[in-house]
Amino acid sequence: MISHWRDKKVAVLGLGVEGLSSVRFLVKNGARVTVLDQKNEKELIPLLRHSGNPSADGASRITNGQRDSGQARMTSFERTPEVVGGENYLKDLEKFDVIVRSPGVKRNLSEILTAEKNGVVITSQTKIFFDLCPCPIIGVTGTKGKGTTATLIYEMLKRQTFDAYLGGNIGKPPFEFLDKLDSKSWVVLELSSFQLQDLTRSPHIAVMLMTTSEHLDYHKDTNEYVDAKRNILRFQKEQDFAIINKDYPASNESDSHTSAKVFRISREREVREGCFVKDGIVKLKINSALQNEKLKIIDTKDILLPGKHNLENVCAAVMAALIAGVSKENIVKVLKTFRGLEHRLELVGEINGVRYYDDSFSTTPETAIAAIKSFKNPEILILGGSSKGSDFSELGRVVSNAKNIKAIIGIGVEWKRIKAQFRIQNSEFIIVEGVKDMKTIVAAASKIARPGDVVLLSPACASFDMFENYKDRGKQFKKQVFNLKNQSVRY
């Protein structure tokens, strides 16, 4: 734990949302901050300026490792950060006392490892926050579902009128609300493998959702990815709690990595102790020396959040909220009103009896399969995008065997690999390919769809070949659906 920052030479690696937040925190606490990023200086200076940092105009300008002759001027933050941009941004890391790594910067870069060998402290905003946070932390990780689950828990805590904060990959960077916390507060953090990889403390309540395989463009293999996830459990104490998804081997077998009290969740089978779905009911099962109690929480038909896969997230949120002290009544109120997150199986609208769903956050075959299985109505799927090295064989099997899929619109560079997995026997099945933009995609789907059908954007791939990111892809989809709705109203 770093006890003070004044006059320490600190490098912030990566100037994304979290990096900007780290800069503000460090400058405020008197550190001598240098921002290092592969973007060039012309991109970095405006980012600092528009981040609310009054010192940005006076930042020392250093491009490709070469300092400008001008000196940084003093501001209300006492010191301005220096900026190093360009391809040599990782040069001479050994000159710093501390390196604060942003999540998108790989922990095992050779330059970082060399600096560490030479005595430089390697840390992150997440690690620092865990050291400084004065209240209990509920951490949520998993391959998919962590944003939805973390938000559900946060909404349940707020419904109970707890002083609760949501951060990490969703909500705000935790430094943004650190000063507002006291011992009675609660913090819910969505934690990625990037943030967990070098964590040395674990949350009071740790939630490990479905864990399969992801981010193999970042991690060297699946084992490293899963091992990073398990840091959410690895440093727990006996007075802590772990909530583990029983339905996935990598998650279920993680109980050996924690000393905490373990509860399991499942949407497929009854658990010995925890929360599960059975006979259309979300149930809680708690064992003690005096009782073996099963408590009904809610009928699944009364849960507003769509998709069977979301029942896993519901069970995890219910368990975490109950441990934190939220009443069953307030938990149920949230489950009956929570619609879900943007771009995650989000109902965009209904036009001429056809429902359009934005599941642009689906960047893996597993999440696309979950979305496909969420509906019994005839479906028009939009599949494809840029590569993450995924295996599409199971997706191909699900699509080939589904009785309700009537058409697929194939997009992006991965479409050919996805299509190769199909073994479709239905002669009336429609495949549309060669579309180049979202306007054409939505127009093609609308021509095929009939009243009662579902148009589902759940690409199973990243988005970077055609869009800026998954958010841009989802927003463009929604824009074109809204345009379609307006045209329908006019005519």
Whether residues 273 and 202 fall in one domain: yes
Judge whether 61 lies within some domain: yes
Mark which of 296, 314, 335 sits at the end of a domain.
335
Within this chain, do residues 154 and 100 fall inside the same structural domain, yes or no?
no
Residues 394 and 458 in one domain: yes
Note down the domain range covering 448: 346-490
Question: Are 111 and 138 in a shared domain?
Answer: no
243 and 315 belong to one structural domain: yes
Q: For 7-60, what is each residue's pLDDT tens digit? A: 999 999 999 889 999 999 999 999 999 999 998 888 888 878 766 544 444 444
**What is the pLDDT, as a whole number, of residue 334?**
98
Q: Examine residue 4 and state whether it is found in any structural domain, yes or no.
A: no
Note the pLDDT of residue 213.
58
Q: What is the pLDDT of residues 347-384, one digit of tens each?
A: 999 999 999 999 999 998 988 998 999 999 999 999 99
pLDDT in tens, 437-460: 999 999 999 999 999 999 999 999
For residues 392-421, give the mean pLDDT: 95
Q: Does 63 share its domain with 138? A: no
Looking at the structure, tell me whether residues 292 and 150 fall in a common domain: yes
Q: What is the pLDDT of residues 214-240, one digit of tens each?
A: 555 555 667 888 999 999 999 999 999
Q: What is the pTM of this model?
A: 0.81
Answer whether 488's CB lies under 8 Å from 442's CB.
no
pLDDT at 121: 96
Interval 160-173 mean pLDDT: 93
In a domain, 2, yes or no: no
β-bridge mates for residue 205, sequence order: 138, 241
Write down the pLDDT at residue 175. Answer: 96
Question: How many whole angstroms separate alpha carbon 35 and alpha carbon 89?
Answer: 9
Say yes or no to pLDDT of 254 above 60.
yes
Clarify whether residues 84 and 146 are in a common domain. Answer: no
Is it the case that residue 69 has pLDDT exceeding 50? no
Q: Are 185 and 257 found together in one domain?
A: yes
pLDDT given for residue 66 in this prediction: 47
Mean pLDDT of the chain: 89
Q: Which has the closest alpha carbon to 190: 228, 125, 142?
A: 142
Q: Which pLDDT does position 420 carry in this prediction?
A: 95
Q: What is the C-alpha separation between 171 and 345, in angstroms, rounded?
A: 19
Residue 358 lies in a domain: yes
pLDDT of the residue at 418: 97
| Single-letter residue type at 129 | F
Q: Would you say residue 1 lies in a domain?
A: no
Most confident of 72-86, 277-291, 315-329: 315-329
Residue ending a domain, choose from 108, 125, 142: 125
pLDDT band at residue 78, thresholds of 50, 70 and 90?
low
Last residue of a domain, one of 335, 364, 396: 335
User: What type of residue is 399?
Assistant: V
Per the structure, the count of domains in the chain is 3
3-state DSSP of the chain:
CCCCCCCCEEEEECCCHHHHHHHHHHHHCCCEEEEEECCCHHHHHHHHHCCCCCCHHHCEEEECCEECCCCCCCCCCCCCCEEEECCCCCCCHHHCCEEEECCCCCCCCHHHHHHHHCCCEEEEHHHHHHHHCCCCEEEEECCCCHHHHHHHHHHHHHHCCCCEEEEECCCECHHHCHHHCCCCCEEEEECCHHHHCCCCCCCCEEEECCCCCCCCCCCCCHHHHHHHHCHHHHCCCCCCEEEEECCCHHHHHHHHHCCCEEEEEECCCCCCCEEEEECCEEEEEEECCCCEEEEEEEEHHHCCCCCCCHHHHHHHHHHHHHHHCCCHHHHHHHHCCCCCCCCCCEEEEEECCEEEEECCCCCCHHHHHHHHCCCCCCEEEEECCECCCCCCHHHHHHHHHCCCEEEEEECCCCHHHHHCCCCCCCCCCEEEECCCCHHHHHHHHHHHCCCCCEEEECCCCECCCCCCCHHHHHHHHHHHHHHHHHHHHHC
Return the CATH number at 267.
3.40.1190.10
pLDDT at residue 244 in the model: 97
Q: Does 299 lie in the same domain as 419? A: no
Give the residue with greater pLDDT, 193 vs 282: 282
In a domain, 117, yes or no: yes
Q: Is residue 309 part of a domain?
A: yes
Is 447 domain-assigned? yes
Same domain, 190 and 304: yes
CB 100 within 8 A of CB 23: no
- Within this chain, do residues 171 and 101 fall inside the same structural domain, yes or no? no
Position 143 pLDDT exceeds 90: no
CATH code of the domain covering residue 47: 3.40.50.720
Strand order from edge to edge, sheet including 60-63: 66-67, 60-63, 82-85, 32-37, 9-13, 98-101, 121-124
Rounded to an integer, the average pLDDT of 416-427 is 88
Q: What is the CATH number of the domain that holds 364?
A: 3.90.190.20
